[in-house]
Amino acid sequence: MRLICLAIPLLALAGCSSIQADSENVKPVPADRLLAFQEPLQGGGEIVVNRDIGMLGGGCYLAFSIDRQVAARIGIGEEAHFKVPAGARIVGIGIDTKDDTLCGKGRLHRELAVQLDSGASQHFRIVSEAKTGFGIVAETH
């Protein structure tokens, strides 16, 4: 009985972690929530970001930024592509300040410094974990 009492809370916490959506279930971020970095650039590269599926913040959009400029408002299971200049870039996630619900009242700020070569593509995932909250991680392709 004690083992069951210990296992149930652990299973509940694991249920709050996100999972990567299957490629056939990923939806593009709608055009009205793509806010920057959509125009083709000569000699630039591409940043691709997708948000996992999970319960944590499931009803909220997150702000995805490039060089500290909000580039998109991303929902769960969505993916966006951005055209950016080659070189050192900073990608990050934060609270969607356009959200006037409780989702927009929290605190969130995560950033990664990346180096993007001309013609290259870098992929990122927005994840959510029960213990640490939201995060952004680089993927290898």
Query: Residue range 26-40: average pLDDT?
Result: 96
56 Cβ contact partners less than 8 Å away, ≥ 6 residues apart: 16, 17, 18, 128, 129, 130, 133, 134
- CA dihedral defined by 131, 89, 124, 23, rounded to 10 degrees? 150
Q: Please write the tens of the pLDDT for every residue from 34-79.
A: 999 999 999 999 999 999 987 666 678 999 999 999 999 999 999 9
Instruction: Supply the pLDDT for residue 46.
Output: 97
Who has greater pLDDT, 18 or 127? 127
Q: Provide the edge-to-edge strand list for the sheet that holds 69-74.
A: 69-74, 62-66, 87-95, 109-116
Task: Answer whether residue 114 shows pLDDT above 80.
Answer: yes
DSSP state of 30: P
Mean pLDDT of 76-90: 97
Is the pLDDT at 8 greater than 70? The verdict is no
Contact (CB, 8 A) for 29 and 72 = yes
Lowest mean pLDDT among 26-40, 67-81, 125-139: 125-139
Residue located via tokens 């909250």: 133
Q: How many domains does the chain have?
A: 1
Task: Give pLDDT, residue 72.
Answer: 98
We report the CATH number of the domain holding residue 131 as 2.60.40
In the chain, pLDDT over 90 holds for what percent of residues?
Answer: 60
Nearest to 137 by CA among 20, 54, 31: 20
The share of the chain scoring above pLDDT 70, in percent, equals: 82
pLDDT of residue 38: 98
Query: Residue 114 belongs to what domain range?
Result: 2-139
